[in-house]
Amino acid sequence: MIDETAEEIREMRTHSSSVVAVKAARALRELDDQEFPTVEEYVRALERNSRALRRASPSHASLVTTQREIVDAIHDADPESVEDAKEATRAAVERVVERVESAKHAAAEQVADDLDDGATILTHDYSTTVLEAIELAAEDGTYLDVYVTEARPRHLGRKAARVLAEIDRVTPTLIVDGAAGYYLDDCDEVLVGMDCIVDDTLYNRVGTYPLCATANDTDTPVTVAGSSAKIVDSEGFRFENEFRTASEVIREPPEGFEVANPSYDETPTRLLDRVVTEDGVQTF
């Protein structure tokens, strides 16, 4: 069953990394339904399945860090019985899920508090934290104009625009990725989510780097929002990009040329103005 969940996570190309992390954490509870003769065998099974889940989506730092946290918690608990080990796993999973979900909400609240009435913002891709921040601000009476890039080739920005269109006081405008520079002079802020930040590099949906570089040239502030679980150092995590199929870019088979379709790009944090998490605001 966990192998099936790992495969499902591998195919979750359009979901936020927090959603992936929560799904992976909950998958470990399936070990509850299995019998193990010793604690050692249970722990080995936990470690093996956790590695499979991490391999399913190695680009998501929050998945990797939360899986390690759960496994470490069982080692630290030093359970005397299999049932004790299972109980420790259940508790660790619930702690991780609660922290990830509450962290997203807390980060969104901090961003929402800083959105000025009548502001114009530009966002890229589909970030659940960004969308929640905009919704919270609107619920508090803030009117916002939001430019949304399509985020090609999967067009995830279209999904974001549809969500924003359902929120009162928010006026969304969908634009092609290449038009971001045209509209940045009209924007008060660029607001994006994050897959992860590793040392001095933001990894996020491809297209984020040229957007932030152009915003830097136009003196448009860039804010990144997400859970602190996505901020890691290179000693404990190595980012692995994902390359999707050529059919997402071009329908007919390419003849005489190659098609490159990376999922993420790298943005130096020097191009950012601030990163907002549940722990507060870090400025650059």
**Same domain, residue pair 114 and 101:** no
pLDDT at 1 over 90: no
Boundary residue ending a domain (58, 73, 105) = 105
**Model confidence over 138-185: pLDDT tens digits?**
999 999 999 999 999 989 999 999 999 999 999 999 999 999 999 999
Boundary residue ending a domain (105, 137, 172) = 105
Q: What is the pLDDT of residue 4?
A: 72
Three-class secondary structure assignment of 88-138 = HHHHHHHHHHHHHHHHHHHHHHHHHHCCCCCEEEEECCCCHHHHHHHHHHH
**Same domain, residue pair 187 and 266:** yes
Q: What is the pLDDT of residue 59?
A: 78
**Same domain, residue pair 112 and 55:** no
In the chain, the number of structural domains is 2
pLDDT at 11 over 70: no
**Model confidence over 225-264: pLDDT tens digits?**
999 989 988 887 889 898 989 999 999 999 999 999 999 9
Q: Are 193 and 64 in contact (CB under 8 A)?
A: no
Residue 188 CA neighbour count, 13 Å, CB half: 11
**Domain extent at residue 270:** 107-283
**Same domain, residue pair 26 and 72:** yes
Place of tokens 């990725």: 177
**Same domain, residue pair 244 and 131:** yes
**Same domain, residue pair 67 and 140:** no
**Model confidence over 200-217: pLDDT tens digits?**
999 999 999 999 999 999
**Same domain, residue pair 145 and 270:** yes
**Model confidence over 41-75: pLDDT tens digits?**
999 999 999 999 988 888 788 888 899 999 999 99
**Same domain, residue pair 98 and 111:** no
**Same domain, residue pair 91 and 115:** no
Q: Report the predicted TM-score, pTM, of the whole model to 2 decimal places.
A: 0.86
Q: What is the CATH number of the domain that holds 148?
A: 3.40.50.10470
Boundary residue ending a domain (52, 81, 105) = 105
**Same domain, residue pair 178 and 249:** yes
